[in-house]
Chains A and B, each alone.
Chain A
Amino acid sequence: MRIELEKRPERSKLFSILSPFIALGLTLIVGAVLFLALGKNPAEAMFYFFIDPLLVGWSLHELAIKATPLILIAVGLSVCFRSNNWNIGAEGQFVMGAIAGSIIPVMFHGWESPLVLPLMMISGAIGGALYATIPALLKARFNTNEILTSLMLVYVAQLFLDWLVRGPWRNPEGFNFPETRNFNASAILPEILDGGRAHWGLIFAIVAALATWFMMRSTLKGFEISVLGQSARAGRFAGFSATKMVFFAFLFSGAMAGLAGIAEVSGAIGQLRPVISPGYGFTAIIVAFLGRLNPLGIVAAGLVLALTYLGGEAAQISIGVSDKVARLFQGALLFFVLACDTLIHYRIRLRSTAKVANVAAAPVQSPAPVEAR
């Protein structure tokens, strides 16, 4: 049996829509098999993983909290990836955004004013953008591989945060725990609904997704991003600058990640700690691809991936499987998304190798290709 690909003359609209769902379905099947292998009842496990968290109010709020950074970061990354810039250091920009945004609540702890929150959000976005400027500058100026530099900077950012909260920014009244002071009330992002934990970050995320969707769909800037992403040469012919696009893409995605960082710290945590993210910056890459790099798709995909975080926690408590299962689901999901994307550009044909040999011996017979759809 051999798999052969046949290029479609145009990308398939049907599979552009279907492929994320096929990928989700395949991931669920793999999950069920995995639970079975772990000796759990797959139906029960799947219920606790994917359904149970959606049935309770507080847990829906948790879902929103986890989806917020994923959507914000992924929206930024979608612009980056579409323009063929590979920023995979969003995790580091998230951390740097959180640090920059925390300057006011940590260093000017006593200042209470309605100005505090807007300033925090802006400085968070600037912090993330500035940190993303480093790989952008190196790529534009020296043609240095941005994948590796942006990733290395993640480790640097995490170590820097670790040093801050154990060193200069440690809470002087905190019994030597590695954490900063708790932010005062005017530095905390308010909740959207009274009594629920979901904070205004979610509103930011949805606004960002809508605005980016509009930019990509209806403006010349969006067109420029798509053109440069598909062919730098054609972009140059159109008069667009690939170098400027490197900066635009990195600054935009860095700002989004930075905003996500400070929103998380201000809305969900309330102080800085050595670790403030369970890998949101990397999971957002999955969100971006599952959403097919479309900002509206990303909102949906962000909720799905947020559910895997919650499901992991729920499954650990209820049926006693490791919450690492969530990471496994996420990785498998990205794999299937990428595999299913092949269906958009190619028809997949299965040919039995025996038949091919047959044809070679007697060329008059024509093999009947089996089309897998």
Chain B
Amino acid sequence: MQASDTRSSAPLLALAGLTKIFGTLKACDAISLEIAPGEIHALLGENGAGKSTLVKMLFGVLAPDAGQIVWKGEPVSINSPFAARHLGIGMVFQHFSLFEALTVAENIALSLDDSVPIGQIAERARALSEGYGLPLDPYALVADLSVGERQRIEIVRTLLQDPQLIILDEPTSVLTPQEADRLFETLEKLRSEGRSILYISHRLEEVRRICDRATVLRHGKVVGACDPRQETVASLARMMVGGDVADVTIGANAGDGRVLIETRRLSLPARTPFAVSLKDIDLTVHSGEVVAIAGVAGNGQSELFDALSGEVTTSRADAVRLAGQDVGRKGITERRLLGCGFVPEERHGHGAVSQMKLSDNMVLARHASDAKTFLGGGLGLLKRDAVWAATERVIKAMDVRKSGVDPHASALSGGNLQKFIMGRELDRNLSVLIVNQPTWGVDAGAASRIRQAIVDLAKSGAAVVVISQDLDEVFEIAHSIAVIHHGRLSASEPARTLTRERIGLLMGGAAPEADTVPEAAHAH
């Protein structure tokens, strides 16, 4: 194997005792690792394990508080991304550092030296992107591009600087399985050119598939280093989480067959120039059923959530039916009064107000449904005691960890705030629950608890829609699965008979009919 030849040589990059402290939190605690030339090195860890902080120090965005970075045997200080690029370190960000209002060529120009004439960038970008099988139009506006195309810009932008080490932060989390396969081909090609790759992920299957070595982080510390090919997914997961995580299983649909969520030819025009319009969406969810909606980010998920929750109303009343009533023209408050609960994707500034206490955030979603207990008198006086009692109930039921009695939402970790927001809805008697990305950016323990709560709710007879980009999650908790692409929803199919391959094709918009099982899909 080529990789084992190169591994014997001196490391390209070595970290010794790298540490970063935020206030009282040691985000990175004396991290040491080595990356050999020509290897794909995985950096594994849960959300909050310190992966992003480490990478930001490598790329000169954050300054380390202690420790040393050794590049090709020389200790170096990297105090800006320019310095990192100058050394030969390139970075592909998870949340892309792109500029929507600028063109592809302008985006690329921003990360190149001033010595490169601006007129040549477009042509060089076009040539390079085609060479690596990542075609791009340099004059297109980024705002008009899909997530996959945006990632290509990031990669091409990095490659134009001819880096020896490329850092990829969760690159496949936004791709369809087929797009991910194509990315892996590109990575193989880069490795064969002798470049090293630091591959950050929590997707263990793909780490086992493409990485030569792995370093595992937990709570800011290195807790293991291994050859992922010698490990199982389960052993990697244990290393990452530091224990076993309870599996969630969904049983057979135990509902009474009533239709509780239904959309009929639901269409919505795009509200802003950058938004997606919804086109003729038909969806039916029965009592006791969990339907997952998969799809690549930015294909109309949040628009669909808004239409189901009533934050945006439709012109036809029968376009949306919830709990047996036409609610298309009714707002979110009236839908809640029918026993519907909603959990949006964004926690801060949508599901919760960051600079408000948990008890205030309780009132946020339940002032109407719980008006009898929370409000008094004709003036709408808030009864703080009753609100606090409900808040405490939710905190206990969902095991929300917090500091202080009633902290601001901003003071909670992502996982704990998500547990609170979920619990706030589950604490009511729901017949319908709509959730968008329930475990996005949440640690494994909290994610498992949230998924279990969704499954339990369905068992009690409620109908649940889970919009999620996470295919593992989709298969874990859904009875049936539909895929959203460019604002259109595929017909939902039973999870048991659906393959990842077929979902991938649907996510990419290549949607063959369900009954003519595709030859093309096998060819890929």
Direct contact of A and B (CB under 8 A): yes
Residues on A with C-beta less than 8 A from B77 are 360-361, 363
Partner-binding segment picked from B122-130, B175-183, B378-386, B393-401: B378-386
- The winner among B354, B379, B411 for most chain A CB atoms within 10 A is B379
Closest-by-CB residue of A relative to B365 is: A238
Which interface class (under 10, 10 to 19, 20 to 34, 35 or more) fits A?
20 to 34
- Inter-chain contact A360/B346, CB cutoff 8 Å: no
8 Å CB contact of A220 from B342, B352, B375:
B375
- Inter-chain contact B66/A363, CB cutoff 8 Å: yes
- Inter-chain contact B311/A236, CB cutoff 8 Å: yes
- Inter-chain contact A234/B410, CB cutoff 8 Å: no
When A10-B411, A239-B333 are in contact, do A231 and B349 touch as well, CB less than 8 Å? yes
8 Å CB contact of B368 from A237, A239, A367:
A239
When A356-B63, A363-B68, A363-B77 are in contact, do A237 and B381 touch as well, CB less than 8 Å? no
Does A230 sit within 8 A of B, measured CB to CB? Answer: yes
- Inter-chain contact A239/B331, CB cutoff 8 Å: yes
8 Å CB contact of A239 from B332, B380, B408:
B332
Does A73 sit within 8 A of B, measured CB to CB? Answer: no
Within 8 A of A (CB), among B377-435: 379-382, 404, 407-408, 410-411
Within 8 A of A (CB), among B73-104: 77, 79
Does A194 sit within 8 A of B, measured CB to CB? Answer: no
Does B510 sit within 8 A of A, measured CB to CB? Answer: no
Within 8 A of A (CB), among B291-329: 309, 311
Q: How far in angstroms is the closest Cβ of chain A from B192?
A: 34
Within 8 A of B (CB), among A7-32: 9-11
- Inter-chain contact B353/A360, CB cutoff 8 Å: no
- Inter-chain contact B63/A220, CB cutoff 8 Å: no
Does B6 sit within 8 A of A, measured CB to CB? Answer: no
The CA of A220 and the CA of B360, in the complex, are separated in Å by 11
Q: How far in angstroms is the closest Cβ of chain A from B111?
A: 21
Q: Mark A209-220, 1 if CB is under 8 A from B, else 0.
A: 000000000111
Residues on A with C-beta less than 8 A from B331 are 239
Does A6 sit within 8 A of B, measured CB to CB? Answer: yes
Q: How far in angstroms is the closest Cβ of chain B from A258?
A: 24
- Inter-chain contact B355/A11, CB cutoff 8 Å: yes
- Inter-chain contact B363/A223, CB cutoff 8 Å: yes
- Inter-chain contact A364/B67, CB cutoff 8 Å: yes
Does B69 sit within 8 A of A, measured CB to CB? Answer: yes
- Inter-chain contact B364/A6, CB cutoff 8 Å: no
The CA of A366 and the CA of B380, in the complex, are separated in Å by 54
The CA of A233 and the CA of B367, in the complex, are separated in Å by 17
The CA of A163 and the CA of B131, in the complex, are separated in Å by 74
Does A350 sit within 8 A of B, measured CB to CB? Answer: no
8 Å CB contact of B353 from A9, A231, A356:
A231
Does B23 sit within 8 A of A, measured CB to CB? Answer: yes
Residues on B with C-beta less than 8 A from A219 are 379-382
- Inter-chain contact A234/B350, CB cutoff 8 Å: yes
The CA of A239 and the CA of B354, in the complex, are separated in Å by 18
When A6-B23, A220-B380 are in contact, do A238 and B364 touch as well, CB less than 8 Å? yes
The CA of A10 and the CA of B365, in the complex, are separated in Å by 22
Q: How far in angstroms is the closest Cβ of chain B from A201?
A: 26
When A218-B381, A223-B367, A230-B355 are in contact, do A366 and B66 touch as well, CB less than 8 Å? yes
- Inter-chain contact A234/B353, CB cutoff 8 Å: yes
The CA of A231 and the CA of B348, in the complex, are separated in Å by 9
Residues on A with C-beta less than 8 A from B23 are 6, 9
- Inter-chain contact B408/A10, CB cutoff 8 Å: yes
- Inter-chain contact A10/B410, CB cutoff 8 Å: yes
Residues on B with C-beta less than 8 A from A231 are 349-350, 353-354
Does A359 sit within 8 A of B, measured CB to CB? Answer: yes
The CA of A239 and the CA of B342, in the complex, are separated in Å by 12
The CA of A6 and the CA of B356, in the complex, are separated in Å by 19
When A220-B375, A239-B336 are in contact, do A234 and B367 touch as well, CB less than 8 Å? no
Residues on B with C-beta less than 8 A from A220 are 363, 367, 375, 380-382
Does B64 sit within 8 A of A, measured CB to CB? Answer: yes
Does A226 sit within 8 A of B, measured CB to CB? Answer: yes
Q: Mark B160-186, 1 if CB is under 8 A from A, else 0.
A: 000000000000000000000000000
Q: How far in angstroms is the closest Cβ of chain A from B413?
A: 11
Does A221 sit within 8 A of B, measured CB to CB? Answer: yes
Closest-by-CB residue of A relative to B83 is: A360
Residues on A with C-beta less than 8 A from B382 are 218-220, 223
Residues on B with C-beta less than 8 A from A239 are 331-333, 336, 367-368
8 Å CB contact of A234 from B333, B352, B380:
B352
Residues on A with C-beta less than 8 A from B367 are 220, 223, 238-239
Closest-by-CB residue of B relative to A217 is: B382
Does B38 sit within 8 A of A, measured CB to CB? Answer: no
Q: How far in angstroms is the closest Cβ of chain B from A155?
A: 33
The CA of A366 and the CA of B350, in the complex, are separated in Å by 39
Q: How far in angstroms is the closest Cβ of chain B from A12?
A: 12
- Inter-chain contact B365/A359, CB cutoff 8 Å: no
Q: Mark A344-371, 1 if CB is under 8 A from B, else 0.
A: 0000000000001001110111110000
Residues on B with C-beta less than 8 A from A237 are 309, 311, 332, 342, 344, 350-351, 364-365
The CA of A227 and the CA of B65, in the complex, are separated in Å by 38
Within 8 A of A (CB), among B32-83: 63-69, 77, 79
Q: How far in angstroms is the closest Cβ of chain B from A62?
A: 37
Residues on A with C-beta less than 8 A from B356 are 226-227, 230
Residues on B with C-beta less than 8 A from A234 are 349-353, 364
Closest-by-CB residue of A relative to B355 is: A230
Within 8 A of B (CB), among A181-236: 218-221, 223, 226-227, 230-231, 233-234, 236
The CA of A10 and the CA of B355, in the complex, are separated in Å by 7
Closest-by-CB residue of A relative to B23 is: A6
- Inter-chain contact A230/B79, CB cutoff 8 Å: no
Q: Mark A110-125, 1 if CB is under 8 A from B, else 0.
A: 0000000000000000
- Inter-chain contact A363/B364, CB cutoff 8 Å: no
Q: How far in angstroms is the closest Cβ of chain A from B193?
A: 31
- Inter-chain contact B65/A366, CB cutoff 8 Å: yes
Residues on A with C-beta less than 8 A from B364 are 227, 234, 237-238
| Known pairs A227-B364, A230-B354 / 16 extra A-B pairs, C-beta < 8 Å | A9-B410, A10-B411, A11-B355, A218-B381, A220-B363, A220-B375, A223-B363, A226-B356, A230-B353, A236-B311, A237-B365, A363-B64, A363-B67, A363-B77, A364-B66, A365-B66
Query: What are 11 residue pairs bridging A and B, where the CB atoms are less than 8 Å apart in the complex?
Result: A220-B367, A226-B356, A230-B353, A234-B351, A234-B364, A237-B311, A363-B69, A364-B68, A366-B65, A366-B66, A367-B65
Closest A-B pairs by Cβ, 7 of them: A239-B333, A220-B380, A360-B77, A231-B349, A9-B411, A238-B364, A360-B79
On A, residues with C-beta under 8 Å from B are 6, 9-11, 218-221, 223, 226-227, 230-231, 233-234, 236-239, 356, 359-361, 363-367
